[in-house]
């Protein structure tokens, strides 16, 4: 840590860049943060045991991804602690059999075996279920993973892909789960309304019939000397007479129309 | 993703102008007082720090924890609030 403090701002920035961290401006308020980040990177890639041997007893858990030594301020990761505690106990067997942890694995850490349930991480992570799954893998030697194995982000944080959310953007429920009926009450109501409506073609037929009837009425009633209407009137009067013949029981409504047609013809 | 609070919605709805640091989501009376003691008395000063850290989430969370001992939830709220404000107005 002393050598990190001794770096100038530019050297600190260059060192961070060497480790793949693109740092922003290193000013008074940001320097401490970048120093800590560099220390974390160095301790994760460097020898873990030397860090612990320096101060073996005074490690405290800080935030989620680091543990600080109270005495000397060294920062490391909890995996390092558990790794080293295992390796200190049995150095030879630590590297003999490998246990693959898919979530919290750093690329250069030596893989260590899972000995007892006591050998657990000091803190609870959201990926504890995958941890248990990976222990079962070791026993059953199965190829299936609960979470896909992903690498590290440049900041040293291991991430995993969560299962895609049903019905989220780009994954509409109807496409991904076609057998699943949308049970929304609004959808059901809309379907019910659609069933009750009269089919469109019947509406069109009724509309055309009404339009034709109204046009006939208009043509018969209108007293217009223009030529284009005369053949139409002839057609209209013929149609009216036909209607009269077919409905002889009701001569009332047809009579005035017929009379009007005859009047216009004569006039 | 948890839903955002009313404070968050109020903050990201308009330019922050001279709003106090207590107006930030996740920053209440206690944390606001601690920030003011460190010199971050207005929301735009915290915004300045957020931008100097290049809007990096981890760095900003660490900085909040160092400066006012905010817990993880409050760190996330403040980060999300500022990030969304920057998306709209910066």
Q: How many CA atoms lie within 13 A of A217 on its CB side?
A: 7
B58, part of any domain: yes
- Which residues 153-182 of A have a C-beta within 8 angstroms of B? 155, 157
Contact A24 B53 (CB under 8 A): yes
Nearest CA in chain B to A156: B58
Where chain A has pLDDT below 50, the residues are 49-65, 67-69, 71, 73-105, 109-117, 119-125, 128-129, 131, 133-138
Q: State the Cα angle at A139 between A135 and A141, rounded to 5°.
A: 100
* DSSP letter assigned to residue A76: E
**Residue B9: which of B61, B87, B85 has the closest Cα?**
B85
pLDDT, tens only, B61-86 = 999 999 999 999 999 999 999 999 99
* Chosen from B40, B46, B48, B52 to mutate, greatest number of chain A CBs within 10 A: B52
pLDDT for the residue B35:
94
pLDDT for the residue A95:
43
Average pLDDT of chain B, as a whole number:
93
**Interface of chain B against chain A, CB under 8 Å?**
49, 52-54, 56, 58-59, 62-63, 65-66, 72
Compute the distance between CA of residue A153 and CA of residue A223 in angstroms, rounded to an integer. 89
B23, part of any domain: yes
pLDDT, tens only, B32-72 = 999 999 999 999 999 999 999 999 999 999 999 999 999 99
pLDDT, tens only, A182-208 = 567 677 777 666 666 778 999 999 999
**What's the total number of domains in chain B?**
1
The two structure tokens encoding residue B19: 């709003």
- Which residues 121-160 of A have a C-beta within 8 angstroms of B? 155, 157
A76: how many CB neighbours lie within 10 A of its CB? 23
Chain B nearest-CA distance from A24, in A, is 6
**Is it the case that residue B3 has pLDDT exceeding 90?**
no
B1, part of any domain: no
pTM to 2 decimal places: 0.40
Which domain range does residue B82 map to? 6-89
Chain A environment of B49 (Cβ under 8 Å)? 29
* Chosen from A16, A25, A27, A63 to mutate, greatest number of chain B CBs within 10 A: A63
The size of the A-B interface in CB pairs under 8 A is: 29
Chain B nearest-CA distance from A164, in A, is 13
**How big is chain B, counted in residues?**
90
Compute the distance between CA of residue A30 and CA of residue B60 in angstroms, rounded to an integer. 10
B76, part of any domain: yes
What mean pLDDT comes out for the span B3-11?
Answer: 91
Does A36 reach chain B within 8 Å, measured CB to CB? yes
Say which of B52, B59, B65 has its CB closest to residue A27.
Answer: B52
Helices (H) and strands (E) counted in chain A, each on its own, are 12, 3
B46, part of any domain: yes
pLDDT, tens only, A19-47 = 888 888 888 889 999 999 999 888 887 65
B49, part of any domain: yes
Chain B environment of A64 (Cβ under 8 Å)? 72
Alpha-carbon distances, residue B20 vs A164, A193, B23, B29, B53 (angstroms)? 39, 53, 6, 11, 21
Cβ-based burial of A59 (10 A; exposed 0-12, middle 13-18, buried ≥19):
buried
Could you tell me the CATH number of the domain that includes residue B80?
1.10.150.40
Say which of A27, A33, A64 has its CB closest to residue B59.
Answer: A33
B68, part of any domain: yes
Alpha-carbon distances, residue A194 vs A175, A200, A227 (angstroms)? 23, 11, 48
């Amino acid at each position: 840590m002393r050598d990190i403090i001794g770096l100038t701002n530019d050297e600190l920035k260059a060192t961070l860049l060497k480790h793949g961290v693109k740092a922003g401006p290193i000013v008074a308020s940001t320097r401490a943060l970048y120093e800590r980040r560099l220390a974390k990177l160095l301790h994760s890639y460097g020898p873990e045991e030397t860090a612990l041997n320096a101060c073996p007893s005074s490690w405290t858990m800080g935030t989620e991804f680091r543990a600080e030594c109270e005495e000397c301020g060294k920062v490391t990761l909890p995996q390092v602690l558990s790794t080293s505690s295992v390796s200190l106990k049995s150095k030879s067997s630590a590297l003999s059999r490998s246990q693959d942890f898919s979530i919290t694995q750093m690329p250069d850490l030596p893989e260590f075996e899972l000995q007892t349930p006591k050998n657990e991480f000091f803190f609870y992570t959201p990926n504890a279920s995958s941890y248990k799954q990976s222990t079962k893998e070791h026993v059953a030697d199965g190829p299936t993973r609960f979470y896909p194995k992903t690498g590290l982000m440049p900041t040293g944080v291991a991430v995993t892909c969560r299962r895609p959310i049903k019905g989220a953007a780009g994954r509409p429920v109807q496409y991904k789960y076609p057998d699943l009926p949308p049970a929304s009450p609004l959808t059901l109501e809309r379907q019910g309304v659609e069933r009750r409506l009269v089919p469109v073609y019947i509406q069109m037929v009724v509309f055309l019939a009404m339009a034709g009837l109204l046009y006939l009425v208009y043509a018969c009633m209108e007293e217009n000397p223009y030529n284009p209407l005369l053949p139409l009137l002839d057609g209209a009067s013929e149609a009216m007479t036909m209607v009269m013949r077919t409905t002889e029981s009701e001569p009332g409504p047809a009579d005035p129309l017929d009379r009007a047609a005859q009047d216009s013809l004569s006039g | 993703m948890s839903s955002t609070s009313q404070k968050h919605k109020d903050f990201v709805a308009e330019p922050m102008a001279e709003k106090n640091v207590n107006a930030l989501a996740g920053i209440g009376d206690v944390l606001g007082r601690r920030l003011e003691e460190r010199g971050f008395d207005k929301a735009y000063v915290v915004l300045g720090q957020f931008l100097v850290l290049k809007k990096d989430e981890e760095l900003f969370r660490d900085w909040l924890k160092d400066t006012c001992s905010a817990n993880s939830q409050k760190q996330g709220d403040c980060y999300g609030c500022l990030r969304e404000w920057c998306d709209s107005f910066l």
